[in-house]
């Protein structure tokens, strides 16, 4: 057996301390290093299911306006707030009551609503026909109140008529409390119901004319006031002939649209979308309709009008 001297033992003990004891001897507390930051991966969009369209809207539906057949739908029976798309039904009831050249005298109670107001003054007089244009183009809420009172005697009674008419049209999941669509938790509909109401309204010639009108002038005393249609899709989509926009914070963006191409007609409803979404979603749906209905591609834009040739000789003859 090998024998070790005291000196050898001390040397071995020192070596062990140097090799294995360095870590415990580090008594200074340094700032701990931060863990390495992992790169956040770019989220991958959820792939669309087969046949699904890329819509921002929470609810949507697309109809063949002639047959009523559903061409596409996305949560069409979810309850949503219609906002000013409510005015489609308001206008329909006024149209069906008739006597549209009858004058309506503005009452004080008609003026107590905001926003999108015509800024009525009590005592002013307008025909029902003119007010329908203002209702659907400018989306004036005070006009909605005046027409409702004129039609039924009060907003409450008019709302009862709205609910009965909606149910008769098959819109049985809806409930309306006012003629303008300002937020009320008891005032709701679905994309399917709203499409049913719009489809029937578009069968009325005057309603159809109004919602396709880009602008309309109304006389206020001796002054002519120009009303521009809020529906920008009229100038964004070839063949668009209506129908009605809507917005509140609770409803977000709403748009009911109708367009014609190649003898085919389609109605789309977008509910609870964002600002670009109502235009993009509606164009996507309407293009989808015309593809399914075999309407063909959109017509080419009209050629710009030719400018007359100058007449430097002053002959009065333009070539």
pLDDT at 118 over 60: yes
State the first-to-last Cα distance of the chain, in angstroms, to the nearest integer. 128
Mean pLDDT over residues 48-77, rounded?
Answer: 94
What percent of the chain is modeled with pLDDT above 90? 69
pLDDT at 84 over 50: yes
Judged by average pLDDT, the poorest of 14-18, 55-59, 184-188, 269-273 is 14-18
Q: 11-44: b or e for each residue (b if 16 or more CB lie within 10 Å)?
A: eeeeeeeeeeeeeeeeeeeeeeeeeeeeeeeeee
153 burial (CB, 10 Å; 0-12 / 13-18 / 19+) is exposed
Per-residue model confidence (pLDDT) at position 300: 75
| 174 vs 218: which has the higher pLDDT | 174
Instruction: Decide the pairing of beta strands 59-64 and 70-74.
Output: antiparallel
Which pairs with CB-CB distance under 8 Å and at least 24 residues apart come from 112-121?
Answer: 112/145, 113/141, 113/142, 113/144, 113/145, 113/180, 113/182, 114/141, 115/141, 116/84, 116/140, 116/141, 117/141, 117/142, 118/142, 118/143, 120/146
In sequence order, what are the residues at sequence separation of 6 or more whose Cβ sits closer than 8 angstroms to the Cβ of residue 114? 141
Per-residue model confidence (pLDDT) at position 311: 58
CA-to-CA distance for 29 and 22, rounded, in angstroms? 15
Q: Which CATH class is domain 59-293?
A: alpha beta
CA-to-CA distance for 112 and 141, rounded, in angstroms? 9
242 in Cβ contact with 257 (< 8 Å): yes
Structural domain spans, the chain: 59-293
CA-to-CA distance for 102 and 182, rounded, in angstroms? 27
What pLDDT band is residue 223 in, cutting at 50, 70 and 90? confident
80 in Cβ contact with 189 (< 8 Å): yes
pLDDT tens-digit readout, 123-169: 999 999 999 999 999 999 999 999 999 999 999 999 999 999 999 99
Please list the active-site residues.
84, 87, 139
Judged by average pLDDT, the poorest of 8-22, 139-153, 233-247, 272-286 is 8-22
Q: With the C-alpha atoms ordered 166, 168, 169, 173, is the resulting torsion angle positive or negative?
A: positive
The DSSP output letter for 188 is B
| 47 vs 285: which has the higher pLDDT | 285
Reduce the DSSP state of residue 206 to 3 states and report it.
Answer: helix
pLDDT at 45 over 90: no
Q: With the C-alpha atoms ordered 73, 74, 75, 80, is the resulting torsion angle positive or negative?
A: negative
Evaluate the omega torsion of the peptide bond into residue 115 and state whether it is cis, within 30 degrees of 0: yes
Q: Which two tokens stand for residue 108?
A: 């004080």
């Amino acid at each position: 057996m090998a024998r070790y001297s005291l000196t050898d033992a001390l040397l071995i003990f020192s070596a062990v301390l140097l090799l294995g004891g360095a870590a415990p001897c580090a008594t200074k507390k340094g700032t701990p290093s931060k863990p390495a930051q992992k790169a956040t991966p770019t989220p991958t969009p959820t792939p669309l299911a087969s046949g699904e369209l890329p819509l921002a809207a929470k609810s949507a539906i697309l109809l063949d306006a002639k047959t009523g057949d559903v061409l596409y739908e996305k949560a069409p029976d979810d309850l949503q707030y219609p906002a000013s798309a409510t005015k489609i039904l308001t206008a329909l009831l006024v149209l069906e009551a008739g006597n549209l050249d009858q004058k309506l005298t503005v009452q004080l109670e008609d003026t107590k609503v905001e926003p999108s107001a015509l800024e009525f003054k009590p005592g002013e007089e307008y025909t029902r026909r003119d007010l329908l244009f203002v209702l659907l183009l400018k989306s004036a809420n005070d006009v909605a109140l005046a027409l409702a009172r004129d039609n039924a005697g009060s907003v409450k009674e008019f709302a009862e008529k709205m609910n009965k008419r909606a149910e008769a049209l098959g819109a049985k999941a809806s409930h309306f409390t006012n003629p303008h669509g300002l937020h009320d938790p008891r005032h709701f509909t679905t994309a399917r119901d709203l499409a049913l109401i719009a489809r029937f309204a578009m069968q009325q010639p005057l309603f159809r004319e109004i919602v396709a009108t880009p602008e309309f002038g109304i006389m206020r005393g001796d002054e002519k006031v120009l009303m521009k249609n809020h529906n920008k899709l009229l100038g964004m989509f070839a063949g668009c002939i209506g129908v009605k926009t809507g917005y509140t914070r609770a409803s977000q963006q709403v748009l009911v649209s109708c367009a014609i191409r190649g003898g085919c007609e389609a109605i789309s409803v977008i509910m609870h979308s964002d600002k670009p979404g109502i235009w993009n979603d509606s164009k996507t749906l309407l293009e989808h309709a015309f593809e399914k209905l075999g309407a063909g591609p959109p017509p080419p834009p009209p050629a710009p009008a030719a400018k007359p040739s100058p007449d430097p000789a002053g002959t009065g003859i333009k070539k």
